[in-house]
Copies of this chain bind each other. A is one copy, B any other.
């Protein structure tokens, strides 16, 4: 619902449990309980993580009967990629100037 800014996506992926959820959802969709199974935390907590992943548009869910099924969705990842590409292209325009200041070959 809320707009999936880069802020939301980075915040969502900053947590290791949520990154692991994304990891596991990469292979197959899962119910909330199935998603929760490996973690040593309450189902409520998992639901809270899920809400954050949904707000970041990394995950979509759909409730059928009493089961909510969770799957990855594209938009959050697209935002991430867009953010990266934007910075990569701006960086390339300024190589020269940075080179003058830091003659470190790791310089972005």
What residues make up the interface of A, taking CB atoms closer than 8 Å to B? 6-7, 10-11, 13-14, 16, 19, 22-23, 25-29, 58, 60, 62, 69, 71-75, 77, 80-81, 84, 87-88, 90-91, 94, 97-98, 101-102, 104, 106-108
Contact = CB atoms under 8 A, between A and B. Distances in A.
Number of chain copies forming the complex: 2
B16 A7 contact: yes
Given A29-B98, A101-B71, A108 B77 contact: yes
The DSSP consensus for interface residues of chain A is helix
B19 A7 contact: yes
Q: 10 tightest A-B contacts by CB?
A: A72-B108, A14-B14, A10-B13, A29-B101, A73-B108, A10-B14, A11-B14, A26-B90, A73-B106, A74-B108
